Structures are given as structure tokens and as C-alpha cells.
Chains A and B, each alone.
Chain A
Amino acid sequence: MRDCAMRGLRVLLIERADIATGASGRNHGLLHSGARYAVNDPESAAECIVENKILRRIAAHCIEPTNGLFISLPEDDLSYQNTFVEACHKAGIGAEVLDPKEALRLEPSVNPELIGAVRVPDASVDPFRLCASNMLDAKLRGAQVRLRTEVTGFIREGDTIRGVHTRSVQTGRTADYYAPVVVNACGVWGQEVAQMAGVQVGMFPSKGALLIFAHRVNNMVINRCRKPSNADILVPGDTVCIIGTTSTRIPLENCHRVSVTPDEVTLLVTEGAKLTPALSETRILRAFAGVRPLVSDDNDPTGRNISRGIVCLDHETRDGLKGFVTITGGKLTTYRQMAEKATDVVCHKLGVNKVCETAITPLPGSEGRSYEELAREIWEAPSTAQKAATARLGSVVSEMPKRSRQDEALVCECEEVPVWEVNNAFERMGVSSLTDLRRRTRVGMGTCQGEFCACRAAGLLAKAQDCAERERADLLKFMGERWKGNFPIGWGESLREAEYTQWVYKHVLGL
């Protein structure tokens, strides 16, 4: 949407749920260097490193340049390290072999039994912030967005797609939109959407389960230096860290409701503790799962060997269907390039020859200065909460209306989100529920998992929308969604917190 808008196209984004609800928001938050794919999938490794470098510039406020380690443990074959480093260099990825002692000094949480380590330019990325910034920028450039609107069918004339039929998920209202080109960027659901248009795109839905730990035990991304396998990446992000993943093929019809099983939790904890022993003692915050939109090409039962490369299909040349393009495959790290490829095809069809500028134009929030400098421009001595908010919003923060003292009160103590940031999300970022708010501000993502902040935010949302009744239902739904990720890891401290939440919400608040 941003790329189309930047090339002067009139563009409309239709999203069934909210931004970043699918694989875009359900992942490690790893900005790949490409090293993980260097040996087996050099094509996507090369894509990753190019994009890695670009995103560090254009989306600086969404990225923490943590670097990453690929460690070898006593049970791993150290000779794989040579293959790995060679493949990295071939793909253009800076990979530096470190002495294990040096690696332990750089990253004290790493398993001290490591026998080898390679440093690569992995980084941590906040996918929610990244998606929100893209949406914000596209809107500033004239694009339109219809969230919570689903496509129910295509408007087709002979061999040409003319537009789409849609229905609002909230109100049920239907609307038809006409455009000379429709782009299918529906990830794993792209198969269904393509089917509606009358063409076949074979997806290979691959579920990945992940765990979020309540503390940030590592500062660098930690990977295992071996063939990609289960639970071999630990990524730090904000105040937490995330271990993952598994890889299980699931039926397409189950993609809407993926959940994590106790066995997967056990596997993730056991394998994760091999990367960083502290994980076996660290409280787990929640479990979640996402579905990779892999494109089918063989009978690999796990999907581990399917390329993570970008697949851009012009259905006019492929199937004789005009006005329809599918962009799929790829990864979070290569999202920008996926957009560029799809927009190139669209522009070609429309006879527009403006070149892509997304690689050189920073996203709103990423224009230059560090968040600490920005925060100091606004507040004489910024508090950690003010710095946290600035880090989330980037340079956009200086455009905010003047804040009163009351607006500085914290809604979410775990993530330090103030009232003004929540109100900004209501006003400018298309928030209509607590879950939307969470994706834009991190409210409810912290240690308490919404116990204290959810009802505070609900109080504000009820006022902003002037509808307390709907908000009461939304609050219950939000707590239900938090619980879905809490119960698979419900023991020890997490169970204490869960019991407290039950008492507060049911008995005290009377929800």
C-alpha cells in the first residue's frame, strides 16, 4: 500500500481483521541477516541481507541492532561452521568467527558449554510498530484503509478482474470497490482468495509455536549453528525474549485458530535452555503460534526445506486472468521487497513508470535522530516512560499535541504506556478494540498480561468511543485472548498471576 501510494497510485487496503494479525505479527520479531538460510536457501538469504540493511535505515525506530550469534554446542558438528560461514560470505552476509570465550563475554546469557560462535548482523524488529508505521505513512500519502472488512467475492468480467465485493465484519454492511488491479497479499489465506478469483495458488500452511519469556535474558539474537530445526532461535525484543519455533504442517481450514500444545511448550523450553540455560528458570509469559505462508512445491512434510523466497504471480501471464496479482512466500524481513515486486507488476500493468523509493524513504518515526535525543527535545529530563513511548513512536512524537500532566499518567506499567500515547492510537491509528490498541502500543503485552492495564485502557476507550457496553464486551474478549496464550504455560508464577486475574476480573470488577 505504501509503495503504491508513493508511486502516485490511488490505493485501497482491505484487511479482514487488523494490521499484523497474521504471520506479520505472529513471529519472533527477528530481522534476519539471512544467515539462517545461507546454506540451504541461498536465494532468500541474499534477499534477507539486502533488506536487513535497508530496514535499518528506513525503519530505525522499529529495529534494535542487536547482532546475532550462531553457536555450536558439544553435540553439534563443528565442521558445519565452515560450511555456514562460507555460505554467508557467498550471500553477502558479514559472518565473523568468534572465540567461544569472546562470545560469552559479548553475550553472558549464552550456554557456557559452547564450542564455537559466529557473529552475524541479525537484529530485533517490532513487527507491530513496523506495520503501523507503514500504514500511517501510506495514509499520509493518500492511501485509504478499510480494516475489519472482508472480501466476499470478485467482480469479474470475462477474463478480467474489475474489483471486489466486501462486507464489514463489524456492521455487516457490504460495499463494492472497483480498480484496474487487485493484489492478493493475504499470506496463507491467499489460496482461498485466489480461489475466489478463479485461479489456483497452492499454499503450504506451516504452524510455528513460540514462547515469550517475562525477562529479556539475552541482548543478542542467539541461533544454533546447524541445519534449521525446532526451537533454535532466541530473539530479544523490548523487555522480553522469544524462543521458537516449531514447524508443523496444518490444514488450511485450521489457520484461523492455531494454538500451542503442552508438548510443544516442553520442546521449546528444553531446546531453548540449550541456547541459554537461564531459560529453564525464567518465567514464561505466554505461548503463541503463527502460520508461515509457504508456497507448496514438494512433499516436504515439515516445510523446513521449502524456500522462504518471494513468490510474485502475475495471473495474466500465468493463468490468463487480467487485473489480478498474488504476492506471497517471503518473510517479515523481506516484506518491503515483496511490496516492491508486486508494485512493479501493478505499475507495469497501469503503464506507470515511476521507480520504487521505499528503500530510500524513511518511515514516519525513523527520520534520523535517536529516541533519546528526540525525548530530550520534548522533555527536559525524560522519564523512562517518556523514553519508552518515544522509542515506540519515533519522530512522530514531536508532532503530538501538547500533553497535560494528566496525560502522562501510565495506563500500562509493564510497558510504560502513558495516556497520551493511548489517545494518539485512538485518534490516528484506527483502533477500535483493545487488541488493536495492543498491536499499536504494547498495552497488555507485559508481565501482567493485561491484568491491570486492560481495564484502564478499556475505561479510556469507553470514553473515546462513548460506548461502554461494547467496550465491556471488548474487555472480556481481550482478556480471553490473553488467556489463550497464558494457559498453555499455566504453572508456577504464571498460574499465580492467572488466579489473581480471575479474582480481580470476576469477583472484584464483576466482569
Chain B
Amino acid sequence: MRFDTVIIGGGLAGLVAGISLQQAGRSTAIVSTGQNALHFFSGSFESMLEAPERLTALFAGAGIRVHYNPGFRLTPLGTFREAALSLEDISLFPEAKFADKALIACVPGYLDYFSAFLAEGLEKQGIQCRLCSLDLPEELQDGSVERRSVQLARLVDRDWKKIVQQIRLMIKDEDAVVLPQLCGLQDASVPEHLRQEIPARVVFAGTMPPSIPGIRTQRLLKRRYEVLGGTYLSGDEALEAQVEGNRIMSVRTRNLDVHALEASHFILASGSFFSKGLRSNPFRVWEPVFGADVSYAEDRNAWYNPEFAGDQPYMQFGVKTDAALHALVGGSPRENLYVIGSVLGGTRPEFGSGAGLAIRSAFAAVDQILESL
């Protein structure tokens, strides 16, 4: 199977690169093991302080609306974090006191949403809070059914009108309603419906992963990629590369067995340790597909900060690249292999971190591929 570009990794970086290349008329394939960092996406693009037209257009094409509003977002534990660019259903506030009075709705027995912390956090900003409970649909009354975000979101998407009715009955003089971020999984328009039908400012507060806006974003980006003709190989894993000189010729995957994926360009977007883009044992850290050089500390004692809250050195470990994002292997660049996203770790600080790193490095790699023939 031959493509123009083969991308290892189907997270934010891999999908942004894949969609951009497909739009430019290139044929691409994405090899994805399954879940990725989008499944615990906060909904705000960390380290993106601007709103590049190129990104908003790409997202709009996928049916994902984002908004740019430098300020703060509300975290699930009731604190506020700086953010500028978010998915549309993640509220951004110029200042943390976003209302005078808030009604905080919680779901009885759902433990992954922290109403007590939210109330305390908002009260600290001078927002008077009142808690109320939403009645659950019949099928979730049984305690033996675990209540997790995805399950609840399916029901909210179906029964959102009942939620609106309940809130309308409970609301008094509050000018804001805080709801758990449990809607818009299947139907992306539900958050907007809730906003329009509830007579107060609706603020969605995040829950424990899996993240509903994150899963939705992943699904819409993947669908857009496939609509543009991309080949998304889900549940497959890149195993090893065939190399000639300084060029990657093909990549073998677990499912395709002997049918290697051949391409002119390869993009490594395999994520960091969690996504297995980087692997480790007590003695070393390595990149498993191409054997690319990894920047890490030789002494394992220097991998960690004993303080949980401190910055962790191992999270800076990443694949080494030249200025043009070509992966280095044994010190020399592979001329058709580009490295993007969190597998870079902290080796390219100019691209930022988190979502910012994924998006900026993806565009940078795409530009180089499009410049070459």
C-alpha cells in the first residue's frame, strides 16, 4: 500500500496533519492504536495564546466550533486557569467572577463531578452558590450500574429537554447555571440547545476523564479526515520501519502484517509515555518504531521531581530533531521522517506544550512536506 504520507498516531497532532495534507490533495494514512490524549482534553488549547485562522478554519471544516477569548476557564475543582482558545462549549471568562449567583446542578451518585469544590471555588470569587440535584433517567437509578461520563452523556443527549425543564423549575434569581460537561457526545448541538433554553448563563464544568468534548473532537476530526479521503487505521500499531540510507521506505504494522505501508514522507505523532510513543525501563528511554534518538537523563534519579506538584523532568524527555523537525537516528537526520506533538516532549520549547505543541508542530511538518515534491 503506497501513500504520499504515513502518519503514526491518531491524536490531535496526527489528525491536524492528516486533514491538512488531505486538503492539499495528498494521500495519507494514519495508524492509531486507539485512545489518545484527546480523551482527557480539557477543551481548552493549552499554550495557544493566539487563534490562527488556519486552525479555526480546519476545525470549522470538521464541524468543531472554537472561540477565542483570552481570560480564564473554570476547572473541575473550582479553580481558574488561564486560557485563550477553547472549544465553543468551554466557557472563557475575562475575569473569574462571571456571575453574581450561580446554581450548581449535580447528578446524584455521580462521583466524577465535584460540586462541593466548584461551590467553594466560585464563592471565593464572590459568586453566591446554591446546589441542586438533577433527577436521573430510570436506567441510571440502579446503583450497580457505574455512572461514568460517557454513559451519562448518552442519556443527556437524548433527554436534554428534561434537564432544561428541571433547571427551569429550580432556578430562582441566579444569573448562571453550572452543569456537568456531559452533553454533546453524539449530537454536537446539545450544548447549544441547553444554552438557548435555560434562562441564565450556562457554564459547563469538566468531569473526570473520559472527556466528552475531547471524545467529540476526536470523532469529528477523524470523520473529517475520512471524508477528505484519508485512511484511518484504527486499533493498529506501527511496529518497525524499513530504512534505506537516510530515508524511511515503509512501516510495518501489527494488523497489516507483511503488507507494509510505503510512503514518501512519514510523520511520527505517537505521543509520549502514556500513548507509548516513548517507552522506558529502569535504564533507558527509547522510541520504539524508528529507534529515533531520545533526549533523556542517563541517571534515573534525575527523571523525577519528588514533589508531585513540581515539574517532572521525565515529561521533558522527547525525540531529538533537527531544525526542520526531522527525527535524528544515531545523530543524523532521517530526511523524510518528521516528529510532531508530545513525542517531542520538551525538546522543542518554541512550539509550546500540550495542544499548542501538537498543532504548531503539525503545521510546521505539513508545510515542509507540501514544499517538497
Contact = CB atoms under 8 A, between A and B. Distances in A.
A178 interface: no
A408 B146 CA distance: 9
B66 to A, nearest CB: 18
Interface in B247-288: 272-274, 276, 279-282
Interface in B41-94: 42, 46, 75-81
A463 interface: yes
A80 interface: no
19 contacts: A262-B300, A262-B301, A405-B143, A406-B109, A455-B77, A458-B117, A462-B116, A468-B116, A468-B117, A483-B306, A484-B306, A492-B280, A495-B280, A496-B273, A499-B272, A499-B273, A508-B42, A508-B206, A510-B81
A490 B303 contact: yes
Interface in B77-132: 77-81, 108-117, 119-121, 124
Contacts of B282: 262, 265-266, 491
A508 B111 contact: no
Interface in A484-507: 484, 487, 490-492, 495-496, 498-500, 502-504, 506-507
B314 A490 contact: yes
Interface string B7-37: 0000000000000000000000000000001
Interface in A445-461: 452, 455-456, 458-460
Nearest to B300: A262
Given A455-B114, A468-B119, A484-B306, A504 B208 contact: yes
When A and B form their complex, which 5 residue pairs have the shortest distance between CB atoms, in order from nearest?
A510-B75, A468-B120, A408-B143, A406-B109, A405-B143
A479 B117 contact: no
Contacts of B308: 476, 479-480, 482-483
B94 to A, nearest CB: 18
Given A462-B116, A487-B306, A502-B312, A452 B208 contact: yes
Nearest to B119: A468
A383 interface: yes
B211 interface: yes
A419 interface: yes
B300 A480 contact: no
A478 to B, nearest CB: 9
A405 B279 CA distance: 42
A495 B314 contact: yes
Given A462-B120, A495-B273, 7 more contacts: A456-B111, A460-B111, A468-B121, A490-B314, A491-B300, A498-B314, A503-B40
B208 A510 contact: no
B315 interface: yes
A6 to B, nearest CB: 38
A508 B39 CA distance: 11
A480 B309 contact: yes
A490 B146 contact: no
B352 interface: no
Contacts of B273: 495-496, 499
A509 B74 CA distance: 9
Contacts of B199: none
A459 B109 contact: no
B223 interface: no
Contact of A510 (B77, B143, B146): B77
Contacts of B75: 508-510
Contacts of A458: 114, 117
B110 to A, nearest CB: 8
Nearest to B301: A262
B298 to A, nearest CB: 13
Interface string A36-73: 00000000000000000000000000000000000000
Nearest to A406: B109
B242 interface: no
Given A471-B117, A480-B309, A491-B281, A410 B209 contact: no
A490 B304 contact: yes
Contacts of A480: 307-309
A411 interface: yes
Contacts of B115: 459
A449 to B, nearest CB: 11
B309 A476 contact: yes
A383 B281 contact: no
